[in-house]
Amino acid sequence: MNELQGNRLIGNFSELRAAGKRALVPFITAGYPDLETTAALLRDFGSRGVRICELGIPFSDPIADGPVIQASYTEALANGVTSDRIFEMVRGYRKSASGEMALVAMVSYSIVFRRGVGDYLDAARGAGFDGLIVPDLPLEEAAQFEELAAARGLANVMLIAPTTPPQRQLRIAGHSRGFIYFISVAGITGERNKLPEASIAAVAELRKHTGTPVCIGFGISNAATVKHVCEVADGAIVGSAIVHRITDAKGKPRDVLVRDVGNFVGQLLAPIA
């Protein structure tokens, strides 16, 4: 799609692929424990070589998030975090010297629909987002949303579950821009010691049929699993393990929290840097 020329998400994956490298995609909850810390974490991640980051937009009823991320959403909402405040934070990040990471919003369609799809996409693009992951957007409605997003230079990233039949996987892949989010395990997010080899094999098969990068998420919690996943996938998405460490460091000064969490992200990145 010509509208997506210049999109950071697509450009960063192209550069990584040309260099024979893989992506670490950290997930953090926007506004947890506060928006200033979120912005500081983004700057830290970028300084360590992270090229793409996923920001969770807090929602009261997430459909696939485990207890760690759910608790972070609940606290952020209680502190008054809204999409508009997140957009303002992202605008500030983009103005900073280190504000070059590709940013993808993980956002419920309920939030987008309530505001109006066009208005929400306009605001996300104006803030500096490069793509959206809408986990409750069904495939049957994806084509129209994909078109509206692309017209604004935004990539619509689709999810594929391990239980999705192969032909439907290919249809979803055909509507996914930027990358394809392959869910490693059925169920909810959370840290796991090992991922099913069937999911790794499914990703290897999927990559034979699409030129769009494929990233694996759910359950990745350590550097060894990042390395294993990236032997077949274009990237590894790590969420709960990072949010867990933010929770553990909440009582510390912001610079210490950012350093501690950033060091963990650096450890995850090391095997594929």
Task: Give dist(CA 179, CA 22) in Å, integer.
Answer: 12
Residue 81: C-alpha distances to residues 31, 88, 101, 175, 257 (Å) = 6, 11, 22, 31, 20
Strand 214-217 relative to strand 102-106: parallel, antiparallel, unpaired? unpaired
Residue 240 located in a structural domain: yes
Residue 147 located in a structural domain: yes
Q: Residue 213: CB partners within 8 Å, gap ≥ 6?
A: 13, 17, 23, 178, 179, 180, 234, 235
CB 202 within 8 A of CB 180: no
Q: Residue 110: CB partners within 8 Å, gap ≥ 6?
A: 59, 61, 136
**Active-site residue (options: 44, 54, 75, 234):** 54
In order along its 273 residues, the chain shows pLDDT tens digits of 457 888 999 999 999 999 999 999 999 999 999 999 999 999 999 999 999 999 999 998 866 567 899 999 999 999 999 999 999 999 999 998 888 999 999 999 999 999 999 999 999 999 999 999 999 998 888 889 999 999 999 999 999 998 899 999 999 999 999 999 999 875 444 444 556 678 888 999 999 999 999 999 988 999 999 999 999 999 999 999 999 999 999 999 999 999 999 999 999 999 998
Told to judge if 54 belongs to the known catalytic residues of this protein, a careful annotator would answer: yes
Told to judge if 61 belongs to the known catalytic residues of this protein, a careful annotator would answer: no
**What is the domain-level CATH number for residue 43?**
3.20.20.70
Q: How many domains does the chain have?
A: 1
Residue 137 located in a structural domain: yes
Residue 115 located in a structural domain: yes
pLDDT of residue 222: 94
pLDDT of residue 53: 98
Cis amide leading into 26 (omega within 30)? no
**Residue 93 — φ and ψ, nearest 5°?**
-60, -45
Q: Look up residue 85 and give its two tokens.
A: 């405040």
Residue 236 located in a structural domain: yes
pLDDT of residue 206: 94
Q: One-letter amino acid identity for 236?
A: A
Residue 272 located in a structural domain: no
pLDDT of residue 188: 44
**Active-site residue (options: 34, 44, 65, 136):** 65
CB 160 within 8 A of CB 203: no
Q: Look up residue 244 and give its two tokens.
A: 């867990």
pLDDT of residue 227: 94
pLDDT of residue 101: 97
pLDDT of residue 151: 96
pLDDT of residue 192: 46
Residue 273 located in a structural domain: no
Q: Residue 147: CB partners within 8 Å, gap ≥ 6?
A: none
- Alpha-carbon 26 to chain mean position: 7
Asked whether the whole model's pTM tops 0.85, one would answer yes
Task: Give dist(CA 148, CA 133) in Å, integer.
Answer: 14
Q: Which domain holds residue 34?
A: 2-267
Q: Residue 16: CB partners within 8 Å, gap ≥ 6?
A: 22, 23, 51, 234, 235
Residue 72 located in a structural domain: yes
